[in-house]
A = this chain, B = another copy of it.
Amino acid sequence: MKWQWQVLGAVCGGALLLGTGILLGHFAVPQAGDLDEKLIQDFMGQVESARIRENLRVLASRPHLATTPGDKALVQLLRQRWQDPQTGLDGVAEGTYDVFLSFPDPTHPNSVSICPPVLNGSRLFEARRSEKVLTPDQAQEDVVPPYAAYAPSGSPQGRLVYAHQGTRSDYETLVGLGLDLNGTIAIVRYGGAGRATKAVVGAEFGVAGLVVYTDPKDINDGRAGENDTYPNSWHLPPSGVERGSYTESFGDLLTPYYPAKEFTYRIKESEIQGIPPIPTQPIGFEDARTLICSLAGPEAPAAWQGALGCTYCIGPGFRMDGQFPSSSEVQVSVYNQRVIEKSANVMGFIRGSQEPDRYVLYGNHRDSWVHGAVDPGSGTAVMLEITRVLGKMLKEGTWRPRRSIIFGSWGAEEFGLIGSTEYTEEFSSKLQARSVAYINVDISVFANATLRGQGTPPAQSVIFTAAKQVPAPGSGTGSVYDNWRHHTNRSSPTYGVIPSLGSLGAGSDYASFIHYLGITSMDLAYTYDRSQTSARIYPAYHTAFDTFDYTDRFIDPGFTSHQAVARTAGNVLLRLADSLVLPLNVSDYGEALEGLYSVAAEGQVQADLAAHNISLAPLKAAINRFKAVATDFNQRLMKLKEESSPNPLEVRMVNDQIMLLERAFLDPRAFPSKYYYSHVLWTPRAAGVPTFPGLAEAHAARDWDAIRKHLSIATQAVESAASTLETPA
């Protein structure tokens, strides 16, 4: 009897243990771990400023204009780094596109010159054709002369006028002052309007040729002398010329909405919209001074005056008492060539362990105008340090992300975000279905004062979390977050005083990700103390002075700001890739919607709408619904996070809701005339107050029917977003 009981006991006990084991195994053993905070600390600890500096030295060692040998050398460098056996990624691929570019003709240099009244082939003056060489690392080989990409060839000649920034209102002012702009050559300064717009609008007014320069007032806080400028300070030397792409839209101009592959249909060059219809050429302020300070005519308005050291007159033509005969004309000669060239994106992949079909994207362009130490070298140097540390962890077997990570080194960004745009076109369907977020770090350090974060509202939470974990460079104490909040903040109804997250325009490769595909995007950089400078951008931007030496001595000596950006961006990347539940707070969209709404619901807009019997009530109701649904969603999320072993499909479900929220704000029919702009909330406004962009533009145009239409579009987008966050069944 005793023996039988023992057997029975053993059998029962065994069964109990086996059963307990089965239950434990099924329910308690997590399917996959959550984010490892220690790993994030390890990552950040391994990011070395010295390595970023060394990356930049190599990257900026020679010019690498898109598709030139310097660019191709960097393609090989990227491949090598990402294929390194010790610190490489899982895989590397090249995506090539046949893209439409514009280069100066090496055998016929562009020129801006003053012709004598009686034409004899001689020149009274000619602007420099290239910048002065001021430092050894500013090697001349391969430096592309200053030019306006996509400006057409031609040699118009005419009397010179000064048209300030070349905006529509600037040209109107000149006409209002009695000037006949037909056949003139206009000189305008950078700023106030897009590069191409200055020429497109000028041509409408009859301007025959355009000269563009950078005024020391706008870029150098007024300093214009050689002693005050690089290599003696970070300021732009008098011979420095900002190059640039003169296009109003982005992406390959011949293949809108389609990847520029060999098989792709191309529109005719004559069908391209938004490039200069007239020859256009940029020059330095040393030469601009010669032209502007000699102008005849009435004094330009006070707001048009600059820092060239003379009173700016508007022309037309030159002063009687000046250095040139007053009837002398200015000639702009452009010999740019439009070509189709093969441009490569270099893509690096890390396979996700649990959700390989969810992508966290991180990118920066590779091409530069000249040496491009700051633009984009500072960003690529940071990206390479991030991939080195991650690659090391990967190869050592200490880490593999939950989701896949895709790194992109985009080609031909300087010509109009071409590489990234073609990529989003080629893989639109797949990227929209699978992408969690896109992180862009182009210029990583403009200056070493504070973080600048831009992004859509869901990005705020993850950027803040990361920024709080990174010590601010330079200062003794405090985090990148604290320092940011100190420099740029706002008062949030939800959180109190917080750093101000900027919105995304179309300034870098995030444009097609956010505006075309509706993928939550962000852009991170260190930037200026705005109380110290009013420079439009860092002074060497797009010039031959954007060199390693320039960065090393003036932008970020010690590279600690680079390091801080690498740590912050890498931290964000790891959180997005590894967190069980995506660290994007959907309810922050509620506050953003309220912000956009409040502008429409008060002041002149509100008064105008009321006067035309247009109600904001449906939009308000939609926003209220969104906020309620987002709150509910976050409560469900909190419960799910508390579960010891949440159902993987349930986690996937909420993550998909978070991921696809941004997509719900897309409406490809909202702005039919604007290529790629589908995001109802963040499409850049051409005009008007900071509310919903369609509403703002329609209001600025006093188009009441369009206002009704855009209110309806915005309401439907918000309703759709709310619906995405509701419990699926």
> Which A residues fall within an 8 A CB radius of B?
10, 13-14, 17-27, 29, 31, 90, 257-259, 261-265, 349, 351-352, 354-357, 359, 404, 426-430, 433-434, 618-619, 648-649, 652-653, 656-657, 660, 663-664, 666, 668-669, 708-709, 711-713, 715-716, 719-721, 723-724, 727-729
Contacts and interface: CB of A to CB of B under 8 A. Distances in A.
A368 to B, nearest CB: 30
B729 A352 contact: yes
Given A17-B18, A22-B25, A25-B29, 18 more contacts: A10-B10, A19-B21, A21-B22, A22-B24, A25-B25, A26-B26, A258-B713, A264-B712, A265-B712, A356-B729, A359-B729, A426-B723, A427-B720, A429-B664, A430-B664, A430-B720, A433-B724, A668-B668
Contact of A20 (B21, B264, B720): B21
B351 A729 contact: yes
A259 B723 contact: no
Contacts of A723: 426-427, 429-430
A716 B656 contact: no
A724 B351 CA distance: 16
10 contacts: A10-B10, A17-B18, A20-B21, A22-B29, A263-B619, A352-B729, A404-B728, A404-B729, A428-B720, A430-B724
A123 to B, nearest CB: 45
Which residue, of A26, A709, A719, has the highest number of chain B Cβ atoms within 10 A?
A: A26
Contacts of A354: 649
Nearest to A22: B25
Contact of A265 (B264, B430, B708): B708
Contacts of A257: 669
Nearest to A660: B433
A26 B433 CA distance: 30
Contacts of A426: 716, 719-720, 723
Nearest to A709: B265
Oligomer: number of copies: 2
Given A660-B429, A668-B668, A724-B430, A263 B17 contact: no
A427 B257 CA distance: 24
Contacts of A713: 258, 265
Contacts of A19: 21
Nearest to A404: B729
A554 B716 CA distance: 47
Contacts of A258: 712-713, 716
B728 A429 contact: no
A356 to B, nearest CB: 4
B13 A21 contact: no
Select the residue from A90, A357, A404, A652 with max chain B CB neighbours within 10 A: A357
A264 B21 CA distance: 58
Contact of A356 (B265, B653, B669): B653
4 shortest A-B CB distances, which residue pairs? Answer: A21-B21, A25-B25, A263-B618, A22-B25
A25 B433 CA distance: 33
A358 to B, nearest CB: 8
A712 B723 CA distance: 36
A729 B407 CA distance: 12
A716 B18 CA distance: 55
A253 to B, nearest CB: 16
A544 to B, nearest CB: 39
Contacts of A652: 649, 652
Contact of A729 (B357, B433, B669, B729): B357
Contacts of A712: 258, 263-265
A709 B354 CA distance: 40
Contacts of A709: 265
Contacts of A357: 653, 656-657, 728-729
Nearest to A651: B649
Given A720-B428, A728-B356, A729-B357, A263 B715 contact: yes
A502 to B, nearest CB: 26
Nearest to A259: B716
Contacts of A660: 429, 433
A636 to B, nearest CB: 12
Contacts of A653: 355-357
B663 A429 contact: yes
A668 B19 CA distance: 55
B649 A724 contact: no
Contacts of A13: 10, 14
A328 to B, nearest CB: 47
Contacts of A264: 712, 716
Contacts of A721: 429
A656 B428 contact: no
A26 B32 CA distance: 12
Most chain-B CB neighbours within 10 Å: which of A10, A27, A352, A728? A728
Nearest to A717: B429
Contacts of A657: 357
Contact of A26 (B29, B261, B719): B29
Nearest to A32: B649
Contacts of A21: 17-25
Given A18-B20, A21-B17, A21-B24, A663 B716 contact: no
B429 A724 contact: yes
B355 A649 contact: yes
A270 to B, nearest CB: 13
Contacts of A427: 720, 723
A719 B660 CA distance: 24
A257 B716 CA distance: 11
Nearest to A9: B10
A263 B23 CA distance: 53
A729 B18 contact: no
In this complex, which of A258, A263, A426 has the most chain B Cβ atoms within 10 angstroms of its Cβ?
A263
A709 B258 CA distance: 11
A664 B428 CA distance: 9
Nearest to A405: B729
Contacts of A356: 653, 727-729
A17 B356 CA distance: 34
B618 A262 contact: yes
Contacts of A27: 25
Contacts of A351: 729
B433 A656 contact: yes
Contacts of A656: 357, 433
B429 A720 contact: yes
